[in-house]
Amino acid sequence: MLPEIKKTIHFDTGKTNIFLISEVSDLPEDIFDAPETEYVAQRLAEKNQNTVILNKLGKFAFICRIASKEDTDQNKLLEKCRKAGESLLGIYKDHKIGSVCVVDCCHKPTETLAFAEGMLLGNYQFLKYRTDRSEKESTLTEIEIVSPGLDEEAIAELHTLCKAVYTCRSLINEPLSSLNAEKLAEEFESMAHEAGIKIEVLNKQKIEALKMGGLLAVNLGSVDPPTFSIMEYKPEGAVNAKPIVLVGKGVVYDTGGMSLKPTASMDTMKCDMSGAAAVASALYAIALAKLPVFVVALIPATDNRTDGNAYVPGDIISMMDGTTVEVLNTDAEGRLILADALTYAKKYDPMLVIDIATLTGAAEAALGKYGMAGMQNNAELYFPQLVKSGFEVHERIAEFPFWDDYEELLKSEIADLKNIGGRFAGAITAGKFLQHFTDYPWIHLDIAGPAFLDKRDGYRTMGGTGVGVRLFFDFVKKIGENKVQV
Ligand code: BES
Ligand code: ZN
Ligand code: ZN
């Protein structure tokens, strides 16, 4: 559960407090007497020791050294603070602590907020399907912050953003049995209504009328119809006249289709709509925070399955823009549904299009769980800024080469394109396939690695991580602040 979070002026010594310090001398003298301070100093002098726990008459006082002189890289420091915030959650749970107060003793509001961010993000759990959830549930429901330099708006914004990350994670964690393409679109509708976003969900008939051949081909093996969700957030006084369009891969389950995946590779494939969840959730946060930026989200969605009428390797399909594609592997389905969405994006004459997708095992093989692959065409102006946002929020982008030569690998003898590029450079050829359908500044993000975790990793938790939400929010926020040229 997402704890409430609020700013207060004074902390209460009768409650559980977490004192954030940079040096021992930051500790408030009226709370800690000399022997306690001496004890804290000794403990913190030990190697790799940054946290000290004091039990004061049954109440805990946590002392966390969040920064020291060695912390010269600001992005690394903020990530350290997020991790520190998460690291104590287990103790609160063990002792059934419901409310804590974070006290910024070292006058570091940004770092204090990052610490709180780690607490909020790390407190996420997906317990919907556990009958013993009351025992498992985290007890933390309230966080107070004492930090004179921190304004209430920044705290409220953090809460909104974390709420969007929770929403994103839960969409990803929901299995296919309760989240097919139509249900996913319904979830987007309720998010849109809450946040004041305009939404239209195209049904199968409309998708057919638009001749979205990629989305329809992937959907052939499904008993459920596809959807195409269009979410538009256009605030009055937006800094941009042309929108930023976010496109998310919404494969609600990927069996591979007739090019069936091996059993083990299929286990986590409910996560194949992580891009879709990320763009919808990012827009949700952007709208709730009322950022002054015109942003659109486009989400093609279907499951990818085998059935009597499923598309097969060798099929030639005709895409929305008329391009013909020789399908040589039905498991390379993400690019087919995204291509139609990228074609649809042209009608906005967009300032920038960013797509995000769990697109290739090759991206995961190259980067593991720690970063996403980024490629761009014609977006030299924006790409470095997105990369910078990535470092700041710790959703990092590694730029892959995107040379024209790779286009060779997608040439087909009998159609305009093949949907696979062979054994090598799989993340890049997937990107090149998508590029064919773009004619605007465009960035492609492959999140196959970081979208979903088999085991807990700190505040990213387990299962869907919500990667992309904080990245897009930060990037769009900076555009709204005119820190990026529009
Ligand atoms: N959804 C998968 C990619 C994926 C792999 C996501 C691992 C998350 C974790 C995608 O649709 C896929 O199957 N891609 C194929 C493409 C290949 C057939 C060219 C792949 O990467 O193997
Ligand atoms: Zn696939
Ligand atoms: Zn897929």
CATH number of this structure's domain 4-151, picked from the four choices 3.40.50.2000, 3.40.220.10, 3.30.230.10, 3.40.30.10: 3.40.220.10
**Does residue 485 register a pLDDT over 80?**
no
8 Å CB contact between 331 and 307: no
Q: Cα separations (Å) of 215 from 204, 207, 251, 264, 270? A: 10, 8, 10, 26, 18
Q: Ligand 3: distance of its center to the CA of 450 in Å?
A: 14
Ligand 1 pocket test target in 303, 305, 331 with most atoms within 8 Å of CB: 331
What was the pLDDT predicted at 272? 99
The kind and range of the H/E element at 117 are helix 109-122
Q: How many CB atoms lie within 10 A of CB 354?
A: 27
Q: Is 335 a catalytic residue?
A: yes
Q: Ligand 3: distance of its center to the CA of 395 in Å?
A: 21
- More confident of the two residues 55 and 57: 55
Helix 469-480 / helix 152-173 crossing angle, nearest 10 deg: 140
DSSP 3-state of 170: helix
DSSP state of 225: P
Q: Cα separations (Å) of 309 from 7, 117, 229, 230, 235? A: 58, 47, 25, 28, 44
Percent of the chain predicted with pLDDT > 70:
100
8 Å CB contact between 244 and 352: yes
**Does residue 105 register a pLDDT over 90?**
yes
**Does residue 62 register a pLDDT over 90?**
yes
Q: How confident is the model at residue 144 (pLDDT cuts 50, 70, 90)?
A: very high
**Catalytic-role residue among 261, 290, 369, 388:** 261
- Note the ligand closest to the C-alpha atom of 362: 1
Q: How confident is the model at residue 15 (pLDDT cuts 50, 70, 90)?
A: very high
DSSP state of 256: -
Residue with CA nearest ligand 1 atom 5: 361
8 Å CB contact between 138 and 1: yes
List the beta strands (DSSP E) in 277-323.
295-304, 316-318
What was the pLDDT predicted at 484? 78
Q: Where in the chain is the domain with CATH 3.40.220.10?
A: 4-151
Q: Quick one: which atom of ligand 1 is closest to the CA of 261? A: 13
What was the pLDDT predicted at 89? 97
Helix, strand, coil fractions of the chain, as percent rounded to 5:
40, 20, 40
What was the pLDDT predicted at 57? 74
Q: Is 261 a catalytic residue?
A: yes
Q: Which two tokens stand for residue 102?
A: 């974070």
What was the pLDDT predicted at 56? 78
Q: Ligand 3: distance of its center to the CA of 333 in Å?
A: 6
Tell me what the mean pLDDT of segment 419-444 comes to.
98
**Does residue 58 register a pLDDT over 90?**
no
Q: Which two tokens stand for residue 373?
A: 């692959």
Tell me what the mean pLDDT of segment 109-135 comes to.
97
Residue with CA nearest ligand 1 atom 16: 332
What was the pLDDT predicted at 486? 75
DSSP 3-state of 272: helix
**Ranges 33-37, 259-263, 470-474: which has the least confidence:** 33-37
Tell me which CATH homologous superfamily contains domain 161-480.
Answer: Zn peptidases (3.40.630.10)
DSSP state of 237: T
Nearest to 270 by CA among 282, 255, 257: 255
Q: Cα separations (Å) of 417 from 321, 378, 432? A: 13, 22, 11
First to last CA, the chain: 37
Q: How confident is the model at residue 125 (pLDDT cuts 50, 70, 90)?
A: very high
Residue with CA nearest ligand 1 atom 7: 361
Q: Which two tokens stand for residue 52?
A: 């000290």
Tell me what the mean pLDDT of segment 294-317 comes to.
98
Query: Which residues does a 6 A CB cutoff place in the pocket of ligand 1?
Result: 254, 272, 329, 331-334, 358-362, 364, 420, 426, 448
Q: Quick one: which atom of ligand 1 is closest to the CA of 426? A: 19
List the beta strands (DSSP E) in 153-248.
198-202, 227-233, 244-248
Q: What is the pLDDT of residues 392-407, one digit of tens each?
A: 999 999 999 999 999 9
Q: What is the pLDDT of residues 197-212, one digit of tens each?
A: 999 999 999 999 999 9
Q: For residues 22 and 356, give the distance between their C-alpha atoms in angstroms, rounded to a whole number.
A: 38
Q: How confident is the model at residue 59 (pLDDT cuts 50, 70, 90)?
A: confident
Q: Where in the chain is the domain with CATH 3.40.630.10?
A: 161-480
Q: Quick one: which atom of ligand 1 is closest to the CA of 254? A: 1
**Catalytic-role residue among 249, 305, 335, 477:** 335
Q: Ligand 3: distance of its center to the CA of 85 in Å?
A: 34
Tell me what the mean pLDDT of segment 234-260 comes to.
98
Tell me what the mean pLDDT of segment 305-314 comes to.
97
Q: For residues 97 and 106, give the distance between their C-alpha atoms in angstroms, rounded to a whole number.
A: 25
